[in-house]
Amino acid sequence: MTRRSQTLRYTVLILAAMAVAGFLLVRECAYGGGMGASYKTCNCLGIEREMYDARPADGPRKTICLGIVQSTTCYRFDGGPAIECPR
């Protein structure tokens, strides 16, 4: 095997591993709540990153979890009573 084909093989393997990790570990965490819709939050084991500022025009904050989602909680509206999460 030549040096160039070996480097290409390692590059493809690294990119494939990164794609699989991203698919398995990146989840939407907090979202919803706009126009009276239900709002979902989660308990993230990892890093929770806010996607945009919570300006009044944007509605409630939206976050993603880079890690494992331990649990989720759904609310009737932002800060309202807890309800069962839709599947």
Domain edges within the chain = 26-83
Non-local (6+) Cβ contacts of 62 within 8 A are 28, 30, 31, 50, 51, 52
Among 45, 41, 15, residue whose Cα is nearest residue 29: 41
Q: Find which of 12-16, 33-37, 49-53 is predicted with most confidence, using mean pLDDT.
A: 12-16
pLDDT of residue 16: 95
Q: Global pTM?
A: 0.62
